[in-house]
Amino acid sequence: MVSTIPAEHDLRRVIGDGASVPDGEVEGLGEQGLLDLYRSMVLLRTYDERSVVYHRQGRIGTYAIFWGHEAIQAGAFHALDDDDWIFPSYRESAIGLLRGMPASTVLSWWRGHPVGWWNPADYNVASICVPIATQVPHAAGLAWGKRLRGERACALTFFGDGATSEGAFHEGANFAAVMRAPVVLLCNNNHWAISTPLADQTRAEALVDKAAGYGIPGLRVDGGDVLAVYEAAREAVARGRAGEGPTFVEAVTYRAAPHATADDPSAYIDLQRVEQARADECVGRYERYLRRIGVLHDQLEQQIKSDAADVMRAGIAAAEAEPAADIGLLFDHALANPPESFEHDLAELRRILGA
Ligand SMILES: Cc1ncc(C[n+]2csc(CCOP(=O)(O)OP(=O)(O)O)c2C)c(N)n1
Ligand SMILES: [Mg+2]
């Protein structure tokens, strides 16, 4: 008989509230590791906040904000080794920065410039998937391939609550479970799929319950607690490496920013819950924890924040210094056998744009 580890409904937490809820700690995570997590969170936060400004200034296109989700991204990232693969959605567009990808590359992606198309093998970070959940089967397939080759690497894929309603999620999760592919299925349950609330998305009591349907373990963590995410992801990675297959991790958050720069959530969201989420946002929560345990002080915090700001300043300058791409690219990869009309259409476009 197949034995299934029952899903955990209680949210795992490590960080206390500085009052009645005590702080925990993660085994094996020393001062350096704690600060590495913090640096990554600050870099992501800075990237995100600057990107919203760049969008307002017309310097990048529509942008998917991830403010408040840095704990999920950094926590999961640090549970991986460099040879493990990451499969992001548009919400984790800047995850490559943590692997040394230049900020200009990600900014160029949002500027619609071809230098924003990185080679996944350079960073073990797959291309950003905008079609919901399509990255899940990609991750399952790569992880299965690693297993077939006897390699140690595993894969981690990020997706949202809405993605769990998609066929691609089901196919990827089921395939990974059946093939025991070493993949971490990391669901950012931010309670919204644009304007569709979680309650209209599923009748499951908790998304983590879906794990049981695939016969895989499910872990449920507070997605605003970087240490809880890190610990859960580390456990999931260890299972994958041990040949035990995939793990579903539900990281519970509440979306505290618009879906994207083109969205006005005040038309549908619970503004009180947004307020609460903003007051308890993950970077501040982790800063207070690090201060309580004596690992962070003003000068270090300022240094880490100013380093991140420098990365962004250099990134936007480099992205803007790129010469404009040839307009012919719009047609180049559209069809294997382009119709004759393309030639005329492109010539017309060049005439109109003077490009
Ligand atoms: C296959 C597909 N259908 C619809 C869309 C339009 N769409 C863009 S984002 C989004 C919501 C996704 O919500 P969720 O999976 O919870 O991720 P989140 O945006 O909250 O990170 C939808 C429906 C899409 N990109 N792809
Ligand atoms: Mg969502």
Number of the ligand closest to the Cα of 195: 1
Quote the pLDDT of residue 7. Answer: 58
Helix H or strand E segment including 307:
helix 298-321
The separation between the first and the last C-alpha atoms of the chain, rounded to the nearest angstrom, is 66
Instruction: Judge whether residue 1 has pLDDT over 50.
Output: no
Q: Answer whether 68 contacts ligand 1 (Cβ < 6 A).
A: no
pLDDT band at 355 (very low <50, low <70, confident <90, very high): confident
Q: Residues 95-124: pLDDT tens digits?
A: 999 999 999 999 999 999 999 999 999 999
Task: Give, as one character, the DSSP assignment of residue 74.
Answer: H
268 tagged catalytic:
yes
Residues 182-204 pLDDT 10s: 999 999 999 999 999 999 999 99
Q: Tens digits of per-residue pLDDT, 256-314?
A: 999 999 999 999 999 999 999 999 999 999 999 999 999 999 999 999 999 999 999 99
Contact assessment for residue 50 and residue 32, using Cβ atoms and an 8 Å cutoff: no
Cβ within 8 Å of residue 112, ≥6 positions away: 61
Active site annotation includes 255: yes
- The reported pLDDT for the residue numbered 8 is 64
Looking from the CA of residue 64, the nearest atom of ligand 1 is: 19
- Ligand 1 atom nearest residue 193's Cα: 13
Cα angle for residues 144, 129, 244 (degrees, 5° grid): 25
* Ligand 1 contact via 160 beta carbon (within 6 Å): yes
Which residue of the set 47, 259, 285, 286 is catalytic? 259
- How many whole angstroms from 64 Cα to the centroid of ligand 2? 12
Residue 166 CA: which ligand 1 atom is closest? 1
Centroid of ligand 2 to alpha carbon of 32 (angstroms): 32
Tokens encoding 24:
């925990």
220: pLDDT strictly greater than 70 = yes
For ligand 2, an ion, list residues with CB under 5 A: 160-161, 190, 192-193
Ligand 1 centroid – CA 72 distance (Å): 18
Whether 256 is in the pocket of ligand 1, judged by its Cβ within 6 Å, is no
To test the ligand 1 pocket, which listed residue (89, 161, 194) has its Cβ within 8 A of the most ligand atoms? 194
Query: What's the predicted TM-score (pTM) here?
Result: 0.95
Could you tell me which residues come within 8 angstroms of residue 92 by beta carbon, excluding any fewer than 6 positions away? 66, 73, 86, 128, 158
Largest CA distance in the chain: 71
CA nearest to 289, candidates 50, 33, 14: 14
Q: Which of 9, 152, 268, 292 is catalytic?
A: 268
Helix (H/G/I), strand (E/B), else coil: 129: strand
What residues have CB less than 8 Å from 128, skipping those under 6 apart? 88, 89, 90, 92, 93, 109
Taking the C-alpha atoms of residue 143 and residue 207, their distance in angstroms, rounded to an integer, is 23
pLDDT band at 6; cut points 50, 70, 90:
low
Which residue, judged by its Cα, is nearest atom 23 of ligand 1?
Answer: 193
